[in-house]
Structure 1
Amino acid sequence: MTKRTIRKVLGYGALALLLLAALAAWKIARREPQPLPRGPLLPPAAQAAQLPPPNPERNAYFGETHLHTSYSMDANLFGTRNDPRTAYRFAKGEEVEIPETGLRQRLRAPLDFAAVTDHAEGLGLYAQCNTPGSSGYWSIDCVGMRNQVLLVFPRLFKANIQSGPERAHYPEGGCGADGRACITAARDVWRDTQNAANEHYQPGRFTTLIGFEYSPTLADGGMIHRNVLFRGHQVPDNVFGAGDGFAEDLLRWLDVQCKAPACSALAIPHNPNFSWGLMFGDRNADASPITPEALKLRARYETLVEVFQAKGSSECAAGLSVNDEQCGFENFWPVCTPEQAKIDAKTGQHAAHCVAETDLVRGVLKKGLQLQRQLGFNPYRFGFVGATDNHNGTPGDTDEATYKGHGGSNDGAPEQRLGLSSTPVSRTLGIKGTEINPGGLAGVWAEQNTREAIFDALQRRETWGTSGTRLRARLFGGFALPAGLAQRPDRISAAYASGVPMGGDLGAPGSAAAAPRFFAWAQRDVNSAPLQKLQIVKGWLKADGSTAERVWDVACSDGLKPQAGRCPANGATVDLSNCQPSSGQGAAELAVDWVDPDFRSEQQAFYYLRVLENPVCRYSQRDALAAGKPHPAGFAPTIQERAWTSPIWYTAK
């Protein structure tokens, strides 16, 4: 019996588990385990090369903060055999195989930094399932994992589900009744994850950040995950997963296990559009009422948020934001009805498969302004990053023109990506294949390409997220920022000297009549479309405690000027028959000085820059052309790639 035949048979229903058990001692169970490298923990190799001197004006670096390899249960089950070392080689520019496709892939340009963040919950299970003689080796779950029996995916996914005070648990078959076997075994995989990062760290050329993903799930595919990243090689001796506690327990664990200055960590909430109101609601992860103490702990570790990734945009949504046509970009779920938006006191969640105000980062930023007034501090001062959540072990694989899927057997074929056939993930999460996109990238402005400099940039929020391209973006603000910076050759040094970069606070105005000035700049990705325009997004707190927002187009391409706050169309188009863009439109660089015309010194506020490129074909249009199929209804065949800078805040005194 071939593996293909077995997997087909095992897709037919609950009786498959009995069949799997009966076959466990036969041919299916004889697949060779994946060897787990074992050995002592090794520090980063000594670097003989001289580091380039730090750049006080800071360099732009692009990287990956959310990446899965064969050490993640779901990626492994879907055929991924690319381990962390393979992932780092891919990030450096090597060609690797896309799992389950036979296709090869290579980045157009290497990344500057990357973090492998495999699911903490699966590290021990991976070791149990691939160590002959372990207590879980012959369990149904482990036999299924080794042989890619997709029927076990819902079983293992369900183990990570938490609901109200009921937390997730370790899979009993592979981990034992108390999970102890997997907790112990996880140390070996975690040690190897660290060794892989330390082996591939090349200060000045390529930075690896040690990390893992804390991955509790909610009913109907909801997620309140965090990607935990560390500053150096001094890290805890094990990971913390959903079976070990709630999100607040994770942060308390970091507080104990990761003591500065030897150890520093960040916990990045990912795609809040899947959090059913719980990630940034008024309750803790266990549905108990949230407290100021819990919010202060979150403010210390959660300085960033994923604004974009493979599961869509979490910036804003069409129907929730006023007068912002760009909020329809890569939305995954519809806006909740008033009835759907009601929070269940038992779970802290609203209805699944829809978004409310605080499932989106703009709404969370506005909520932070309200909490600033109520508590005296803002727990939601988030900087922005983009990421892929790639499960092929191919970090930064975000090019629409060459996208071949991100989850092994789930989307390795065009028919799956076009939604013509379902997969275990699409069925479990209640989604269509076409809703997934290639994902985004994280950009940082840092003095050097080292762990310390990259991490410090992430921590101070001098970051921007993109929808997958490598366009560069900067935003500075200040009450003393000089006019005309956009035309000055020393504009960056002058901006640092007289203002604050994205992620900062404007401070107090020099006079009651003063309004803050901003300098915004962006540069195109030479491998993507030219720039179309720059936009400033503002949110503020009104006297009655409610919030408001507004978007201004502040710089237009092709010599056009904003009219009533909007740029005229620049005429850029795409030929859908061959995906060729029109030529001649767009800009290689845009820069502008802007003063807030509506500033009120008594109003808390935030500002961020959004950059839009000209349209290009979405990957799904290219798939449809290649497969000779019509483009799926309900999805745009083109996409305007973009970037979002971290906000700059104004805190009224």
Structure 2
Amino acid sequence: MAPGISAASKTRRRLATVLLCGAVSAATSALTVAAEADTPYSPYVSESPQRQVYFGDTHVHTGLSADAGGSGTRLMPEDAYRFARGEEVRSNTGQPVKLKRPYDFFMITDHSDGMGLISDLLEGTPNVMEDPSGRAYHEDFNAGGQQAADAMFRLIAQFAQGETPPALLYQPGVPAYRAVWERLVQAAEEFNDPGQFTTFIAYEWTSLVKGNNLHRNVIFRDDADKALEVVPFTMMPPIGSQNPQDLWAWMAAYEEETGGDVTAIPHNGNLSNGMMFPLRDDFANGKELDAAYAKSRMTWERLYEVTQYKGDGEAHPLLSPDDEFADFETWDFGNLDVSEKKTDAMLPGEYARSGLLRGLQLQQTLGVNPYQFGFEGATDTHTGLSTTGEDNFFSKFTTVEPDGERMTHAGSSNPDIGIEGYTGAMYNAAGLTAVWADENSRTAIFDAMERRETYATTGTRITLRFFAGWDFDEEDAKAPDLARRGYAGGVPMGSELPRADGDAPRFLISALRDPMGANLDRVQVVKGWVNSDGEAQEKVYNVAWGGDRRVDDEGKLPPVGNTVDLSVPTWSNSIGVGELSTVWQDPDFDASDAAFYYLRVLEIPTPRWTAYDAVRFGVEVPEGVPLITQERAYSSPIWYTP
């Protein structure tokens, strides 16, 4: 007998062993029976995992971009990645800052033109100091503060008008240029952690046509081995070009030569003075667009950045006068360098909704829709800090990081032509890109972006589902497996709805509030269509909402209310609802009209970042500055083609 073990204890162990063996035998028999059954007990056997939603920022600048570094940003790519994955860092003005929630994926998009320039300007390398403009920029940028900010705007203006001094025209071939590109690629590789935090190799192509913004962010699906076979395409000749069609040719050549995969995402049409969604070719003496242009643009530009720090680009109140939510964070004073004032005639070529309508019109004549893009959101921060929380907003430039004067900080203006410009209070704490992907990896997220299964938010993390089909019913909207039913019975956001005989299409919709945010006010369907006469039309439908409100005869829904307390500031989730789902059928459907549909989801009112600043710094808010906002999400459209 082993020391310390009694005879009674041994008896109990023998009995337990007999019982356990019997249980194992019974369990084995049960497993055998289940394995032999036609239908396994587990409902997930042989089923692919449902796609998950991942949130990220696709547009971030660090101190390696000339305008960012020149205006005081000293955070580098490595700092930006550490911050985005949830670490606390010190801002460019020395303030501790941290995210409430880390991002799932992240892209640093430093400018392709001028890579390496800002480092040489700050250091004062011999080639820079030999040039009078170089010496002046060296002194101004090192002075910091407003002097550096003014120099930054001066540099942007020279670049926008094609007047950059030759000594400062950093392009591929300049040693410093290649070194910066390699650093950006290596940093993306170092911080890429699939499944936890995915980073992408990327850059921003910064085309400006006499100050009109045509910028695109270029995103690689690939790793360093392919991305380092090239250097970024630039805007400035003789190597680069202002024409987006030349960028698309560069992208096609990259894929052909490397076997890689790349996409481009335009942004800030509101600063393009009508050039973002043209009806004619601005680079070919205004000739009519052709099918080749339409096919190329649809191929290389699958998404559009619909919201960011420099304004929201979904709709404009003059273009959508019946839409009470169209005037949201609107920037419409001029082009990027304020060299030309905005006119009403420019607006249809600038906003996402009007761009989608123009796409339907062009499809009637060209057979291809050049503006068949999905939606995504980003920050365009130039501080290295991607902050979309209204209570944690570090703005676009170092000069407007949190302090008591940033609301009145002056941006670009041009009083000679009547452009008052903007102030720090106009910056918008937006946005985010949400993707429905199979996993958190470069390939899965990139593939979701290419199939346009994405949506944009103004910083909130609403969970949004949107499917179109012909046979959905209300039971599908109530089912716990709503997404499975959506994929099985229709197509998701970003898709084309196959033609089918029968009634109007049915849309399966689900919106869930940000678990750390505000309740939902309503879900709207935005429809745009072109009739047989080629006339573009639009309508906004309220399809689901919280409370006992009723839609009036004109289709309008009363406001949800307002619980914001500006003295704190805070709000209450005592109004609105946490979840909205429905099946909606288009009551105005005409099977002969091409159309698109997308969702706009609004939260209840909450404090804007200006309200937090007013309390924290005890400052008086300038007249006209909003203190309350309604965060929102925009799904990618679904298209119907007769």
Tell me whether the two structures share a fold, i.e. TM-score over 0.5: yes
The one of 412, 437, 453 aligned to 1:446: 437
Does 2:504 match 1:515? yes
| Distance verdict in 2 for CA 1:180–1:358, change over 3 Å | closer
Once the 2 structures are TM-superposed, how far is the Cα of residue 131 of structure 1 from its aligned partner? 6.9
Equivalent in the alignment of 1:402: 392
Once the 2 structures are TM-superposed, how far is the Cα of residue 107 of structure 1 from its aligned partner? 0.6
The one of 529, 546, 560 aligned to 1:557: 546
- Secondary structure of the residue aligned to 2:325 is helix
Equivalent in the alignment of 1:529: 518
Does 2:318 match 1:325? no
| Distance verdict in 2 for CA 1:78–1:180, change over 3 Å | closer
Question: 2:528 is aligned with what amino acid?
Answer: G
- Secondary structure of the residue aligned to 1:437 is coil
Separation (CA, whole Å) in 2 of partners of 1:91 and 1:449: 15
Residues 45-72 of structure 1: CA distance to partner in whole angstroms, max 9, x if unpaired?
xxxxxxxx99642001000001000110
Give the structure with higher Rg (CA). Answer: 2
The one of 205, 210, 222 aligned to 1:214: 205
Unaligned runs of 5+ in 2: 1-45
User: Does the 8 Å CA contact 2:113/2:171 hold for their aligned counterparts?
Assistant: no
The one of 118, 126, 133 aligned to 2:118: 126
Separation (CA, whole Å) in 1 of partners of 2:640 and 2:573: 41
The one of 98, 110, 114 aligned to 2:106: 114
- Secondary structure of the residue aligned to 1:328 is coil
Separation (CA, whole Å) in 2 of partners of 1:414 and 1:457: 41
Equivalent in the alignment of 2:264: 267
User: Does the 8 Å CA contact 2:293/2:370 hold for their aligned counterparts?
Assistant: no
Identity %: 38
User: Does the 8 Å CA contact 2:248/2:300 hold for their aligned counterparts?
Assistant: yes
Equivalent in the alignment of 2:15: none
The one of 407, 410, 422 aligned to 2:410: 422
Separation (CA, whole Å) in 2 of partners of 1:282 and 1:73: 33
User: Does the 8 Å CA contact 2:103/2:197 hold for their aligned counterparts?
Assistant: yes
- Secondary structure of the residue aligned to 1:374 is helix
User: Does the 8 Å CA contact 2:520/2:576 hold for their aligned counterparts?
Assistant: yes
User: Does the 8 Å CA contact 1:128/1:174 hold for their aligned counterparts?
Assistant: no
- Secondary structure of the residue aligned to 2:326 is helix
Question: 2:103 is aligned with what amino acid?
Answer: L
Equivalent in the alignment of 2:252: 255
Does 2:595 match 1:605? yes
Separation (CA, whole Å) in 2 of partners of 1:57 and 1:353: 47
Question: 1:106 is aligned with what amino acid?
Answer: K
| Distance verdict in 2 for CA 1:651–1:134, change over 3 Å | farther
Once the 2 structures are TM-superposed, how far is the Cα of residue 203 of structure 1 from its aligned partner? 0.9
User: Does the 8 Å CA contact 2:203/2:232 hold for their aligned counterparts?
Assistant: yes
Unaligned runs of 5+ in 1: 1-52, 163-167, 341-348
Separation (CA, whole Å) in 1 of partners of 2:633 and 2:457: 4
Equivalent in the alignment of 1:30: none
| Distance verdict in 2 for CA 1:92–1:574, change over 3 Å | same
Question: 1:507 is aligned with what amino acid?
Answer: P
Equivalent in the alignment of 1:314: 313
Once the 2 structures are TM-superposed, how far is the Cα of residue 218 of structure 1 from its aligned partner? 4.5
Once the 2 structures are TM-superposed, how far is the Cα of residue 142 of structure 1 from its aligned partner? 4.3
Once the 2 structures are TM-superposed, how far is the Cα of residue 322 of structure 1 from its aligned partner? 3.8
Question: 1:210 is aligned with what amino acid?
Answer: I
- Secondary structure of the residue aligned to 1:515 is coil
Residues 362-421 of structure 1: CA distance to partner in whole angstroms, max 9, x if unpaired?
0000011101111011110110011100111012x11111213231024543312x22x4
Separation (CA, whole Å) in 2 of partners of 1:649 and 1:350: 35
The one of 363, 367, 372 aligned to 1:372: 363
| Distance verdict in 2 for CA 1:401–1:278, change over 3 Å | same
| Distance verdict in 2 for CA 1:507–1:181, change over 3 Å | closer
Residues 258-305 of structure 1: CA distance to partner in whole angstroms, max 9, x if unpaired?
338731111111011111001112344536334432232111111111
TM-score by length of 1: 0.83
Question: 2:329 is aligned with what amino acid?
Answer: E
Written as runs of structure 1 = structure 2, the 5 A alignment for 1:601-640 is 601-640=591-630
- Secondary structure of the residue aligned to 1:439 is coil
- Secondary structure of the residue aligned to 1:518 is strand
User: Does the 8 Å CA contact 1:304/1:384 hold for their aligned counterparts?
Assistant: yes
Separation (CA, whole Å) in 2 of partners of 1:275 and 1:454: 29
Written as runs of structure 1 = structure 2, the 5 A alignment for 1:445-484 is 445-484=436-475
| Distance verdict in 2 for CA 1:553–1:317, change over 3 Å | same
Once the 2 structures are TM-superposed, how far is the Cα of residue 483 of structure 1 from its aligned partner? 4.5
Q: CA RMSD in A?
A: 2.6
Question: 2:77 is aligned with what amino acid?
Answer: P
Residues 299-357 of structure 1: CA distance to partner in whole angstroms, max 9, x if unpaired?
111111111100111111112214210001111126x9xxx9xxxxxxxx984376512
Question: 1:391 is aligned with what amino acid?
Answer: H
Written as runs of structure 1 = structure 2, the 5 A alignment for 1:587-598 is 587-598=577-588
| Distance verdict in 2 for CA 1:426–1:120, change over 3 Å | farther
Separation (CA, whole Å) in 1 of partners of 2:109 and 2:82: 16
Residues 534-593 of structure 1: CA distance to partner in whole angstroms, max 9, x if unpaired?
110000111211111111111111354544434343333212222222441111111111
Residues 468-526 of structure 1: CA distance to partner in whole angstroms, max 9, x if unpaired?
11111111001233542111122211110110000001111233xx1100011111112
Equivalent in the alignment of 1:500: 491
User: Does the 8 Å CA contact 1:308/1:467 hold for their aligned counterparts?
Assistant: yes
